[in-house]
Structures are given as structure tokens and as C-alpha cells.
Amino acid sequence: METKVIKKIGVLTSGGDSPGMNAAIRAAVRAGFYYNLEMYGIYRGYEGMILNDIKKLDSKNITHVLERGGTFLKSARSEEFRTPEGRKKAYDNLRSHGIDALVVIGGDGSLTGAHLFYKEFGIPAIGLPGTIDNDLSGTDSTIGFDTACNTAIQAIDKIRDTATSHDRLFFVEVMGRDAGFIAINAGIGSAAAAILIPEKKMPIEDLVEKLKIRTKAKKSSNIVIVAEGGKSGGAAEIAEKVKKHLPYYDIKVTILGHLQRGGAPSSFDRLLASKLGVAAIEGLLQGKYDVMAGLINNRVVFTPIKKAIVDDKTVDDDDFRVAKILST
Amino acid sequence: METKVIKKIGVLTSGGDSPGMNAAIRAAVRAGFYYNLEMYGIYRGYEGMILNDIKKLDSKNITHVLERGGTFLKSARSEEFRTPEGRKKAYDNLRSHGIDALVVIGGDGSLTGAHLFYKEFGIPAIGLPGTIDNDLSGTDSTIGFDTACNTAIQAIDKIRDTATSHDRLFFVEVMGRDAGFIAINAGIGSAAAAILIPEKKMPIEDLVEKLKIRTKAKKSSNIVIVAEGGKSGGAAEIAEKVKKHLPYYDIKVTILGHLQRGGAPSSFDRLLASKLGVAAIEGLLQGKYDVMAGLINNRVVFTPIKKAIVDDKTVDDDDFRVAKILST
Amino acid sequence: METKVIKKIGVLTSGGDSPGMNAAIRAAVRAGFYYNLEMYGIYRGYEGMILNDIKKLDSKNITHVLERGGTFLKSARSEEFRTPEGRKKAYDNLRSHGIDALVVIGGDGSLTGAHLFYKEFGIPAIGLPGTIDNDLSGTDSTIGFDTACNTAIQAIDKIRDTATSHDRLFFVEVMGRDAGFIAINAGIGSAAAAILIPEKKMPIEDLVEKLKIRTKAKKSSNIVIVAEGGKSGGAAEIAEKVKKHLPYYDIKVTILGHLQRGGAPSSFDRLLASKLGVAAIEGLLQGKYDVMAGLINNRVVFTPIKKAIVDDKTVDDDDFRVAKILST
Amino acid sequence: METKVIKKIGVLTSGGDSPGMNAAIRAAVRAGFYYNLEMYGIYRGYEGMILNDIKKLDSKNITHVLERGGTFLKSARSEEFRTPEGRKKAYDNLRSHGIDALVVIGGDGSLTGAHLFYKEFGIPAIGLPGTIDNDLSGTDSTIGFDTACNTAIQAIDKIRDTATSHDRLFFVEVMGRDAGFIAINAGIGSAAAAILIPEKKMPIEDLVEKLKIRTKAKKSSNIVIVAEGGKSGGAAEIAEKVKKHLPYYDIKVTILGHLQRGGAPSSFDRLLASKLGVAAIEGLLQGKYDVMAGLINNRVVFTPIKKAIVDDKTVDDDDFRVAKILST
């Protein structure tokens, strides 16, 4: 594939926001300036591309954004972009600004959009993994995942205070629809009695048995972490079932919810986002199109988008084994 | 009332735990040592008094507890203490240790227990206001309330990141069954679009109208704070009703739940708890019985328990007025 | 004094910044809009008034600022404003925008400027207490003080982790040149072995004696809080002196410094700043000029600026007494 | 080398403490119980081994320690352990308890002790990398490093608030005597204007030039990160030099100091410490002696201690390159 001449690059965020998106935007824009490119912000993701909500960015736009959660370019769903007509309109808008290439920051849906757009119009596009779910291949960690894990354990630390004071059993639901990455990290990190993730089935009977053994061992409080997407149901549902077997137990449920999406990015996510933002621009200049830039073993790796979004990344078996040893 | 000679004081926490209880226990125990008293920890509140779970405390017990959430003396409900037989058993246990007086840290139910116990057995007892709800008279602020407000706004700060990125409307439910103190503080502190508290009725139509006006003013995100105990229902219920009137709006609900009870106490709560812990011991030595020690205008005030627990403390009208001005 | 008709109000921050200044600006501007006034931002304090760096504010300017530390209007020192010519130039600039009245947020120097300006040109001016030092009369707490105390204790909590692991003695210097408010709060809140404040002299011998007693009592770690402005010198100096008497002790010094000035404001400071911001506008509309709005016993009080800046507010004797009892 | 039968394992922490040490101890002890071993805590590192301050641990000892900074086993320097006589005494004490093997958590000095001890007495010993400095080979990250980076950026976030409000230049000194790992991470993560690390020399003239260019570009605030061990001197020294070239600039210095050592460990460090704690026990049972367990590319790797402590791990050149691009 030939390397095109690129002078103007558009940046957008799409899908569920994640902490570090601003840091990634900033890094891409600053790297663009470093390489004497013009940089454009496309607001509200593909929706903004269709509505022509596109603005040239200067260094002021990216001042004091690195440390903030969310995305100042905003994010939105776009039904219209799923249609060829929508994408054509979006492409025409891009061209009207003279935009040569795209940096798309988001999850699998967002990257799929970049892939389609590249295929249909040949516009050089590179994706960055921006999602708290960590469910993208081609990178050890997605931007926002580490922050979400920290947010989760800090919340669970608080919950443990009250759980211990009252000898209670808490079911805490964390995010993660298809993969239990946040759950396993937060579970190991908060000394959970059990961790329920989509990848592994744990029959209610086994869970009840485990909790009974712990009660006998006089563990005063118990915290069970539940990934929202588990096949056994959410935290409330599981708590209900467990209650039937352990009626004497004071059981509470907390669903952490959207607070896991926000907050100042962690040091890890700031570094990851900064590196990948630079890599996106350098990748485009080197003719890397239709790929996602990720960090594997601390090295930048470009993976074809189609491969990166295949949803087969699951919690490491060894992590699960360690979790088991530590919760007995 | 004559002042009794006091040599051994028992301390207990009871009811829902709140951040700063440990700091209050520590201050009471340390003040006891300062006045050459023996100090006893009664574990799990009145339940532990009945079960004779009482231990003499030394300075090691209170090392590195000030900064921790929860209560190391633990807390529990006691059905048996509600019966005269239960209280008699509790009293006998106290006497078997030679305990002369009591410091009870908790909410209205806990203080009521102290009052009854004093009335029936004449044992000098003093209460400290330990609850995140701030619903006790006789003190400007209860121990734990300020920390809970800080926990709430920090969580809402994170939620705002994602709300703003997606132009969403969030309903955030905070604790406060009978009073909207956390709601009003967190609402003003997080620039909420509206605050629903038990003290003030806000018809759904008014709320919808307000949100419509804000939408026209292009406020991109909106956060509505709901106290759990509101007559119009919890956050989920209200969100459901609003959705019918604003179907185009992307509405989400987060219930902060028990994480508001935990966490390291704030500077304010550490100071408050420390002062009141000392005041409890000095009050007992000065013959102040059947009272709650509180801080009013930064001065220690002793209020008869029966008066302190009358639940007529409500959100200040002027605070509500300010909230209205700031959310337009 | 007659009440003037006010239509346009300028807001400025001056002196050392403090967390909550943004919340105060936002509240004043929003209250201004509520009362149908035009609101102007004067950038970089009095310096910007002289340089005519003044802009009309709309609601966008105050979106998402409440929760941020610092001041988006910026702050600076102005030598020129100390001269009559400088103030004349400043006044002319104000008038060129048609600005009728001023809200000045800052410490004693900033409020003095407002007082002078009012006296010389008769322009209605109201001050708000914005300083982490809490050294202004006319208010129980200044905007930013509570946040600074929380920042201090959170830092000291971390230092205690390592102090305890190594049985070390740490001298931690906190801000507070003329008054030991942060020191006393942070000291009580972090179970300090001793607290050195400008208001009370503690001979080195007494400090050494205290530390020796604690060593005998096998307190493994000791933290001594030093207000920067103490007559016995800063933390480094005192540590040096103590080392001579306790050569076997592993002594470390940490100066918290400017991180105490920043950070998201606490719940308390957000509420305080919000109330006072509204009070400033309502005060001006009611003809309250040359005064500072403060909160005393949770009620808005207007104090003549000349009285508010008289620097006689000192740490409460009873707080000092409590600190002593708790550190034995 | 033959695999010895191991029944009793001693655990100790040594050298500067780091957040996550408690999590590593807990994981090792819990894994020991899982494999039916007896576990012993050796207090105050090698010093405690010599003083026979050794206690059998049960599950209560490791309850609620995972989330706490510091090390509950404490740490200390031991001059005596550097002598053959000291080590002999230590060995005899170990044997008197029947302790078969050792887990040593600490930095290079601590691991060297383990290596010597193994060589002299043949006692199976495994090391874990516990230091905030990240200066050990054989692991991508040391336990505590990620937390220290997070502590640093959170402090710098606060400093930036006040730096921006006053258009100031701040020199912030972070830990890292021989390596600039914290500096480079915190520098990239806080959008620093420049980062001075021991690995790279930056002449004062270049730094001044860079700051001048930024001033022209109207960057209102500048933060320069300095690793404490830089050859150009500490932050205070460099600030002094820069001041001479930029006399008009308002320059401030903050030395973060020991607060970087404390605090609740981050999610990353909790996971890392938990995995390595389990790996230490499993390694010993598999006959891996005189090695350090680390995590490379998310896999447990055992590296001979002599190789792990060779201090040649330096900041990645590519990270430094990225930092440069992002600070222009």
C-alpha cells in the first residue's frame, strides 16, 4: 500500500467515554503540531462528522485537558453513520475541510466505523483503544481500563469499611459486559471472597459453599465482586439467590455504575494514552492505515482493525487461579 | 443531680457506622487515659453488652485508627436490648467489669438505648452523634456527615465527566432517608440541575419543565440529585417518570449506596470527632448524664438525649433558596 | 448610605489562589444572571483592571469550573495598584465598560484594595474571604481552608505509612504564616505527637521531652506538625535542633508546600463559596458596600472590610487544649 | 540443585518501604496456607532476624492489610547483618523456629542480603521487588512504583492549579536517585515543560531556551519535573540557576518527598504484589532459590538475584522521545 501525503488530520472519540481519551487526543494533536500538520477536532464522533461539527484545533484547545476525565471532543452514537448515505455525507464534510486522515479513539464499534470508512473511501485511518472494558485485542491494556480498576478498588475500600463494621456480605457489581477484566483486577485488589466473571461459570451452590466455609473461619466481612455481564445475572439477582441459602446473613448490594467511566486518568492511562496518541500520528505518516495502535510488552504495535476488534480477549487463566488461591 | 465517682468507662458504637467513629472512640479513650480512667471497649454495640463482649483497652488498641473509616468496635443491631430482660443482662455484664459510665456513639436509635439504660439503671451515659445523615438536633453537624458529602461530590465529579461527554441526564441517588442534608450539599457542590429532598415536594412536571428550559439553554449535561427517602420515590422511579416526558433524552441512574458510609474521615470529621470524644469524657466527669455532646457554633453543647433525637432538623430554607438560584 | 443602581458587576480574584475561588466566581456570576445583571470577569486581579483585561461573562464561562481548583480569572500581584495613579487608571477602565460594582475574592491584601478603591471612587465593592490561611475575621472559615486541611491530612496519612514502617520521626511543615489553623486541624486530624503554631511558643526542650516520653511509651512513629510561620523556625530548622538531643532517632522532614493551594475544593468549600458568591451579589443589591461577606454560625454576615482584615484571629485555645490531651 | 522439603517459611520486608508490600506479604502468607505451610513474620527486616523478633502468622494477621500502605512487618536497616557474625546469629534464630525458607521483599540491598544468606547457609530464599524506584531488572515494574507515580501526578495536578492561576514556573522534585522512572512517568502524565532525569543530561542553557520558547508561545504555566538524583542537582539548585536567566519569572519549588512512599496501593500494585506473593511460595516449592520473582510481559519470571540487582535498568529511550514531542 502506498503512503499518502497527509497534511490535515481529524481526531474523534466515539462510543462510551473512558478516562484518558483527553490525554490521547492531546498527544495526537501535539504530535501533529510537532510534525507540522494541521489538526482538526470532530465533535460528537461520527455524528459530528455527518453534521459537519468540525473545528481546527490550536494548542489552547488541548491545554489542561490531559488530566481530565471524559472527552472534550464529546462522544455520541450515530445511527446515520451505519448507512452508506450517512458515511458519504461524513466523507464529503471531511473533504470540505481538506482532512486527509483520521484518528479514531474508542471501542470496537468505533474502530469498525474507521475500518468501514477506510475501505469505502480509502481515507487513511488509525484507531486507538479507548474503553474501560479492556476487551480489545492488539493491546495489553486499553485506555481507561487502569483508571476504572482504581476507581473500583477505591470504592470497594470504602464499602469494606462498613462491611467489616457490620459483619456484612456485600455484592458489588462492576462494569464489564463481555469480559471480567475489571472484576478480576478489582476482586484480587480488594481481597474479595469470590469473583464472578462472564468467562467462568460459578454455580450458586459453589458460591454459597464458599461463603459458608468463610463464615466458619470467622471471616467477619465478605465482598463478592460481580461483573455486570455475567451469565448468572447481575449482583442484585445473585444476591437474591444467595440470600435464600444464607438467610441469617445481612446482605447488601452496590452497583458502582457510571462513576467507573469518569475521573482523572491514572498515571498508567496518561502514559499509555500519550504514547498511543503519538504513535497514531507517526503511524499515519508511515503509511499504517486501517490499524489500531496498541501497546504490547511496552512496545507500540499496529494491529489490523478487523483483528483487534475480534472479541476473544478474556481474563487470563492464571489470574483466575491466583484469585482462587487468595480468596480461600 | 449528684455527680458520681467514675473510674471505668465503656465505649460502644451502634447503628449504621459513619466515618469518624474511630476518631471519636480514640479521642474518648485517650481523654480517659489523660484523666487516669480505665477504658473498656464494648464490641458490636448493645449486642456485645448483652453477650459480654467487652475488653479493656490500652493505647495500642487506638493506634492508627483515627484515619480509618468504619468502627473497630464494630456495630450491630440488638433486638434483645429492646427488652427489659436484655437490658438487665447488659447491665449485669457492665457491672461485672466494674464499668461506671458509658459513651455511646451512633444515631437516634443508639442514643435512645443510652437514654433508656440511664433511666432504668442510673448508669451515667453520654451520647455522641455518629451518623452520616446529620439528622440529630443538638449539633450543627454529625460525625461522618462531612465525609459522606465529600464522597458524594467526588463520585458525582466522575459521573459528570461521562455525562458531559455524552450530553446525558443523570439521576444520582444519595443517602438521607428523612432529611436531605447530603442531597442539598452534594447538589449545590456539584452544580446540579435540580435537587429532590424529603423536606420539599417537587412535582414531576416542575422538574420536567426545568430540564426543558435547560435543554433550550444548551446546557449539555444535567445532573439531578435525589435523596433516597424522597416522597416522589427513589432516583430510578423518578427517572422513569421523567423519561416519559423527555423521550429524546439519554437518561441514566446511579445509586451511590453504601460507599457513602465508608472511607477515611475528612479533616472536618476528624476534628469534630476528636473534640466530641474529649467532651464526652469531660462531660461525664462533670456530671453531665443522659445528654448528647454536640458542637454548635464551634462550642461544645450538651443536649438532653430526648431532645437531641427529636427528628425535626431539616435542610435550611436559605440553603434551598441558594440551590435554586444556582441551578437556574 | 444610599443604595446605588447596579447593572454591571465586575468580579476578580487576587492574592494567593485558594480552592473554591472558582466556585465563588461561578456563584456570583450565576446570581448576577438570576438578578438580570451583566457580569464581567476582570483577569489577573487588579493588574488586569489596570491593563483593561476585562471581559463580559456568559454562562459558558462558568460551566465546569465549580469543581476545579485555582481561579480561571487568574490572580497576580500589582505594584501599580498601590499607587493613586494606578487605581485611577483601573477605575477609568472599569467605567469604560460601565461596570457599577465589584466583587473581590482574596485575602487581606486583596480586600484592602477593594476598600481603598471604594473610598477613593465610591464604587460599591464587596469582598469574599478567599485564602487557605483562614486568617480573616468576619467569617468562621475562609474559602479554601477546609480543602487545604484535607489535602494536608491526606498527605500526612501517606507519610504516616512510611513513618510507622520505619519507626521514624517526621517533621511535616504545613502552610500558615501568621496563624496555625491548618497546623492545628491537620495535627489533631493526624494524631500528631506535637503541633507547633505561631500563636503558642513551645521551647525545643519541651518538644524533646515530649518525644522522649513517647519513645519510652513505645510509640513507634511520631509526626510533628509545624506551621511555616512559627517563631521557632520552619520544620527543617526545628528538626535540626531536635536531632542534637535525639541523635539515635531517624528524623525526616517534609514540606508540603504549594500542593496545599490546589485541588478540587471540598464539599464544605463548595458550599461556603456558593453561599458567599450569592451573598455578594445580594449584598451589593441591598446597598452593602465596603464589606466582606462571611459565614458565621452558618448565617451570612457582612463585616466592614477594615474590621475583617485586622489580623487578630487566632487558633482557639480550646482546640489547642484538645490537641494536647490527644497527643499525650 | 535439589529441591528441599519446605514446611515453614519466613517473610520479611527490608529497605525503604513501598505501597503494596502489605499486599505481597498477604499473598505470600495466604498462598503458604493454601499449600499447608506454616508462615512466619520476621519483624523489622534482617534486624528482627538477628533480634529474633519472629512470630507465627495466622489469617488474622493478614486481614485488612492488602489495601494499606507501608509494611506491617516493618522495615529497618541492619548494620549487624552485614557482618558474618550477624548473619550467623540470624540464621540460628531462623532455625530455632524451624524456618526452612525465606521470602524477602525489598530493593537491591534487601535482595543482596537474601543472596548472601542463601550462599552462606543454603537456606532457600526468594526475593520480591519492593521499591518505588523501579530500578530492578527482572521485572517490568517493581511493587510500589505505579502507586508512587499516581501519588506524584495527583500532587502535581494540585500544583498545576495554583501554577496556572499565577502564571508561575514550578520545579517539582520527585523521588528516583539513580533512575528517572517516576520523573518520566509523572512528567509525561502531567504535561511537564521539561523532565530532568539522571539518565540524560540537560544543560541549563537548553532548559532555559525551552522555557523561553514556551513563554513566547504564551504557555501560562510551566512545570518542570526533576528526579532527585539528577547530576545537575536537585530542584532547588536548578531553580536557582534558571532564575538567573529568567529573572522576571515567578519561580517556585516543591519537593514531594516521603509522601510518595505511602498511601493505599494502586490497583496495578495490588495485582502485581498479589501475583508475585503467590509466585514466591510456588517458586520455593518448585526449587527456585536465590532468585527474584518478577513480572515480565505479564508472566512470572524468576531471575537470579545477582542479575536482578545489577543496576542497569534505565528509562526507555522511546519514552524520553515521546516526552520531548509532547512538551514542545
Over range A20-35, report the average pLDDT. 98
Domain D8-144+265-308 and domain D145-261, same fold? Reply is yes
D323 vs D318: CA distance, rounded Å: 8
* Range of weakest confidence among B309-318, C59-68, C110-119: B309-318
Out of A127-131, A140-144, A207-211, B29-33, pick the least confident.
A207-211
Whole-angstrom distance, CA of residue A289 vs CA of residue A115 = 9
**Residue A328 with chain D: CB contacts under 8 Å:** 30, 33-34
Q: Which of A248-252, A322-326, C262-266, D96-100 has the lowest mean pLDDT?
A: A248-252
Chain A residues inside the 8 Å CB shell of D26:
191, 326
Domains of chain D: which residue ranges? 8-144+265-308, 145-261
C260's grid cell: 496545599
pLDDT band at B77; cut points 50, 70, 90: confident
Q: Is C26 annotated as a binding residue?
A: yes
Select from C35, C30, C27, C43 the least CA-distant residue to C5. C35
Per-state percent for chain D, helix, strand, coil, to nearest 5 = 45, 20, 35
CA separation, residue D109 to residues C117, C132, D129, D180, D306 (Å) = 64, 42, 11, 19, 11
Give chain C positions within 8 Å (CB) of D16.
Answer: 162
Mutate to test the interface with D, among A213, A271, A317, A318 (most CBs of D within 10 A): A271
Q: What is the mean pLDDT of residues C76-96?
A: 95
Inform me whether the C-beta atom of residue A74 falls under 8 Å from chain B C-beta atoms. yes
Q: What's the mean per-residue pLDDT of chain C?
A: 94
Cα distance between residue C65 and residue C81, in whole Å: 28
Q: How far apart are CA A43 and CA A24, in angstroms?
A: 15
Q: What pLDDT shows up at residue B311? A: 67
Does D69 contact C161 at a Cβ distance shorter than 8 Å?
Answer: yes
Task: Report the candidate in C28, D33, B102 with the shortest Cα–Cα distance to residue C41.
Answer: C28
Partners of D264 on chain A (C-beta within 8 Å) are 154, 157
**Length of chain A, please?**
328
| pLDDT given at position D249 | 85
In this prediction, residue A248 carries a pLDDT of: 84
- Give the per-residue pLDDT at C178: 84
Element (H, E) at B9: strand B8-13
The per-residue pLDDT of chain B, averaged, comes to 94
Flag whether residue D236 sits within 8 Å of chain A, measured between CB atoms. no
Choosing among 3.40.50.150, 3.10.105.10, 3.40.50.460, 1.10.357.10, the CATH entry for D145-261 is: 3.40.50.460
Confidence of residue A240 (pLDDT cuts 50, 70, 90): very high
pLDDT surpassing 80 at residue C60: yes
CA dist C51 and C74 (Å) reads 14
Sorted by sequence, the CB contacts under 8 Å of residue A49 that are 6+ apart come out as: A10, A12, A42, A78, A81, A90, A93, A94
A210 touching chain D per CB within 8 A? no
Span B8-144+265-308 CATH architecture: 3-Layer(aba) Sandwich (3.40)
Per-residue pLDDT at C1 exceeds 80: no
CA dist B223 to B220, B236, B257, Å?
10, 14, 17
Residue B66, C-alpha cell as written in the block: 483515627
B-C C-beta contacts closer than 8 Å:
115
Q: How far apart are CA C316 and CA C328, in angstroms?
A: 19
Specify the residue for cell string 468507662.
Answer: B9
Q: Which CATH class is domain C146-261?
A: alpha beta
Grid cell, residue B11, equals 465505649
> Residue D311: its pLDDT value, please?
67
| pLDDT tens figures, C135-180 | 999 999 999 999 999 999 999 999 999 999 999 999 999 999 888 9
How many whole angstroms separate alpha carbon C116 and alpha carbon C113?
5
Residue A250 is predicted with a pLDDT of 87
Query: Would you call D188 and A146 a contact, using CB atoms and an 8 Å cutoff?
Result: no
Per-residue pLDDT, B1: 58
Position C218 pLDDT exceeds 90 = no
- pLDDT, chain D, mean: 94
Q: How far apart are CA D136 and CA D115, in angstroms?
A: 15
Strands (E), chain D: 8-13, 38-42, 54-56, 101-106, 125-129, 169-174, 194-196, 222-227, 251-255, 291-296, 299-304
Composition of chain C by helix, strand, coil, percent to 5:
45, 20, 35
pLDDT band at D272 (very low <50, low <70, confident <90, very high): very high
Q: What is the ipTM of this complex?
A: 0.96
pLDDT band for position C311 (cuts 50, 70, 90):
low
Q: How many CB atoms lie within 10 A of CB D83?
A: 12
- pLDDT for residue C215: 79
- Write the pLDDT tens digit of every residue in C234-249: 999 999 999 999 988 8
Single out the catalytic residue among B100, B133, B269, B290. Answer: B133
- pLDDT of A180 strictly over 90: yes
- Is residue D133 part of the annotated active site? The answer reads yes
A87 is in an annotated binding site: no
List C-alpha distances in Å: B174 to A111, B78, B201, D248, D314.
Answer: 37, 27, 17, 49, 48
Q: Is the domain defined by B147-261 classed in CATH 3.40.50.460? A: yes
Q: Nearest CB to A271: which of D154, D185, D297?
A: D185
**What chain C residue is nearest to D168 in terms of C-alpha separation?**
C76
Q: Which of C213, C233, C211 is nearest to C224 (CA)?
A: C211
CB C30 within 8 A of CB B191: no
Is B157 in CB contact (< 8 Å) with chain C?
A: yes
> Choosing among D26, D143, D295, D326, which should be mutated to test the A contact, i.e. which has the most A CBs within 10 A?
D326
Determine the pLDDT at residue C201: 86
Beta carbons within 8 Å of D82's beta carbon, 6+ residues apart = none
Closest-CA residue to C256 (of C140, C148, C147): C148
Which region, left, alpha or beta, applies to residue D191 given φ > 0 means left and ψ of -120 to 50 means alpha?
left
- CA of B254 vs chain A CAs: smallest distance (Å): 6
Closest to B325 (Cβ–Cβ): which among C30, C264, C271?
C30
Is there a contact between A259 and B159 if contact means CB atoms under 8 Å apart? yes
Q: Which residues of C touch D160 (CB under 8 A)?
A: 262
- Cβ neighbors of C221 (< 8 A, separation 6 or more) are C160, C163, C164, C166, C167, C168, C169, C170
Highest mean pLDDT of the ranges B72-76, B221-225, B308-312: B72-76
- What is the model's pLDDT at position C210? 92
Q: What share of chain A is helix, strand, coil (3-state, %, to 5)?
A: 45, 20, 35
At residue A311 the predicted structure's pLDDT band, cuts being 50, 70 and 90, is: low
C-D C-beta contacts closer than 8 Å: 116
3-class DSSP state of B50: helix
The angle subtended at Cα D97 by Cα D92 and Cα D99, nearest 5°, is 85
Structure confidence at residue A1 (pLDDT) = 58
Banded model confidence at residue A213, pLDDT cuts 50, 70, 90: confident
Q: Which of C34, C271, C325 is facing B189, going by the closest CB pair?
A: C271
B81 in Cβ contact with B87 (< 8 Å):
yes
Q: Predicted confidence band at B184 (pLDDT cuts at 50, 70, 90)? A: very high
Closest partner residue to B267 (CB to CB) among C67, C140, C149 is C149
Query: Does B170 touch chain A if contact means CB atoms closer than 8 Å?
Result: yes
Q: Given this model, what pLDDT does residue D310 score?
A: 86
Instruction: Using only the alpha carbons of chain C, give its radius of gyration.
Output: 22
| Residues in chain D within 8 Å Cβ distance of A316 | 298
Distance to chain A for B76, nearest Cα, Å: 6
D245 pLDDT band, cuts 50/70/90, is very high
Residue range D281-290: mean pLDDT, rounded: 97
Residue D288 reports pLDDT greater than 80? yes
How near does any CA of chain D get to the CA of A325, in Å? 6
Q: How far is A200 from chain D (nearest CA, A)?
A: 19
Q: How confident is the model at residue D1 (pLDDT cuts 50, 70, 90)?
A: low
Burial profile C73-101: b = 16 or more Cβ within 10 angstroms, e = fewer: bbbbbbebbeeeebbebbbebbeebebbb
Which of A17, A53, A100, A133 is catalytic? The answer is A133
Tens digits of per-residue pLDDT, A89-147? 999 999 999 999 999 999 999 999 999 999 999 999 999 999 999 999 999 999 999 99
Determine the distance in angstroms separating the CA of C17 from the nearest CA of chain D, rounded to an integer: 6
**Pick from D6, D70, D45: which is nearest to D281 by CA?**
D6
Name every residue whose Cβ is closer than 8 Å to that of residue B17 and which is 6 or more positions away in sequence. A161, A162, A165, A166, B69, B70, B71, B75, B130, B261, B262
